[in-house]
Amino acid sequence: MTTDTSTGPRGAGTGSDRPAGDPPSAPAAGASPGRAPAERVAKLQGHRFRMTLIGLGNAVLQSVMVFLFAWAGTTSWGVATAFAVTMLSTTAAFAVAVRTGWNLRLRDPALVVPQMASSFVIQLVYIVLAPRLWVLFLVAVLVTFTFAMVSFSPRQFSVASWAVAVGLAAAFVASRDRFGHPGTSSVDMFLIWAYFVLSIHQLTLIGSRFSSLRSQLSAKNDQLTAALARVHALATIDELTGVANRRSFMTALTEERARAERGDRPFGVAILDVDAFKQVNDVHGHGVGDAVLAELSRLAAATVRTADHFARYGGEEFALLLAAPTGGEDAVRVVERVRVAVESHDWEGVAPGLRVTLSAGVTCWRPGESAEALLARADRALYEAKATGRNRTVGVGTSTAPSSASDDGAVGEAVSTS
């Protein structure tokens, strides 16, 4: 006996009705909305029909084995015939129900519970009617129960296990005075061997199914991991420049500030802006402007330290988080390296006659200061750099001496021009 795996566990919070491990069928390109569900139902029905045919094949094999035991004299021909008729008619009825689509009228179109219940009942009844073959029918019960592992929910397993326990107890009590075992002749031993080989084959099929489900689950997990990585990239990486975006920068700044509060480790922040960027767009076009931003990002990412966090802050404006421990002089020095790298770069490859410079404002965090206050001071330093001629780095509150409120207007020692 085999069972359809097209229904997930009941009560799992899903209306899914597909082969276990299979992904939902996506509509084909250009397919109408109504066509995709019809194709999905047809696919599921095909799967269910194949599974019921496997169940019918198992019923045929078990019936043949019981007939062979009748031929060996272990049970009567009448019992063997009744068993074959019962098993074959029941499994054939399930196959016909699926083939004709009658099962689609039911709440459980996969017919999992009816198939399991009918198989259990038949095996238990024939433990009573053919008690000398009780071991064979008991093995069939175990194999059937193992098939349920593919489809049953924990609650269904609990109910089924208690039902089987009660049913077996009733069957054992009803036939306790007639229990026996097949003979020890060569024929009997061969039949017992053949039956157990077939049972092991069925268990192998179950194991193969679980292996397939594990492989599918692993593939789904890999796809999910890749999808999450893409989502993370879309949420944290600037598409044009390939560096971190503003959201990523603010997250990193919040985390760095929290670490600094715990360990009193200084760090710095810089805001950098491309000089006369509107003129670049007006003279060379927006395509060249985009190329400038991308190339500048590449230069800066290659110039800053590994622990630093360089990001596009918005438009032609960039931000740099200078990871702790970074004092004022070190902060200005790192940003100045970026400015010099941009100024000295050969921009002819982007556009003939193109020259690009940037201005930067740098500051260092003060204990207890909010991220907003820190960024506001860096922005004031950038404004100072722009107001005093551009293409320079201005540090505000970057003195190694203890800072005070009056530091906000002070310009650090690194002011570069060209």
Q: Is the previous residue joined to 325 through a cis bond, with omega within 30 degrees of 0? A: yes
> What is the extent of the structural domain holding 158?
35-228
Residues 256 and 202 in one domain: no
Domain final residue, candidates 196, 228, 260: 228
Domain final residue, candidates 193, 228, 263: 228
Cα–Cα distance, 392 to 404 (Å, whole number) = 24
User: Could you tell me which residues come within 8 angstroms of residue 418 by beta carbon, excluding any fewer than 6 positions away?
Assistant: 343, 357, 391
Residues 118 and 252 in one domain: no
Residue 156 lies in a domain: yes
User: Could you tell me which residues come within 8 angstroms of residue 41 by beta carbon, excluding any fewer than 6 positions away?
Assistant: 104
Helix (H, G, I), strand (E, B) or coil at 320: strand
Residues 130 and 43 in one domain: yes
Residues 282 and 180 in one domain: no
Residues 67 and 204 in one domain: yes
pTM: 0.53
Residue 166 lies in a domain: yes
Residue 191 lies in a domain: yes
Cα–Cα distance, 281 to 17 (Å, whole number) = 56
Residue whose pair of structure tokens reads 């066509």 in the numeric block: 35
Residue 236 lies in a domain: no
Residues 138 and 265 in one domain: no
DSSP string of 113-146, one letter each residue: HHHHHHHHHHHHHHHHHSGGGHHHHHHHHHHHHH
The answer to whether 373 and 331 are in contact (CB under 8 A) is: no
Helix (H, G, I), strand (E, B) or coil at 208: helix
The answer to whether 52 and 98 are in contact (CB under 8 A) is: yes
Q: Is 227 left (phi over 0), alpha (psi -120 to 50) or beta?
A: alpha
Domain count, the chain: 2
Distances (CA, A) of 342 to 278, 296, 358: 17, 7, 7
CATH code, 392: 3.30.70.270
pLDDT reported for residue 412: 43
pLDDT (tens place) for every residue of the chain, 418 residues total: 444 444 443 333 333 444 433 434 444 444 444 555 788 888 888 878 887 887 888 888 889 989 988 898 888 999 999 999 999 999 999 999 999 989 888 888 888 888 888 888 998 899 889 888 888 888 888 877 777 766 777 888 888 888 888 988 988 888 877 777 777 778 878 888 888 888 787 777 777 777 777 888 888 899 998 888 888 888 889 999 999 999 999 999 999 999 998 887 889 999 999 999 999 999 999 999 999 999 999 999 999 999 999 999 999 999 999 998 888 889 999 999 999 999 999 999 999 999 999 999 999 999 989 999 999 999 999 999 999 999 999 998 766 333 333 344 434 444 543 3
Domain final residue, candidates 228, 258, 277: 228
Residues 279 and 342 in one domain: yes
Residue type, 233: A
Residues 211 and 121 in one domain: yes
Residue whose pair of structure tokens reads 């922005």 in the numeric block: 379
Tokens of 166: 């009660």
Tokens of 389: 């001629």
The answer to whether 142 and 149 are in contact (CB under 8 A) is: no
Residues 257 and 210 in one domain: no
Residue 371 lies in a domain: yes
Residue 15 lies in a domain: no
Residues 47 and 79 in one domain: yes
Helix (H) or strand (E) holding 394: strand 393-395
Helix (H) or strand (E) holding 393: strand 393-395
Q: With CA atoms as reference, report the closest residue to 47 among 130, 124, 109.
A: 109
Q: With CA atoms as reference, report the closest residue to 120 among 87, 156, 85.
A: 87
Sheet strands (E) in 257-379: 268-274, 309-314, 317-322, 358-364
Tokens of 202: 């069925």
Residue 26 lies in a domain: no
Residues 192 and 285 in one domain: no
Residue 235 lies in a domain: no
Residues 218 and 255 in one domain: no
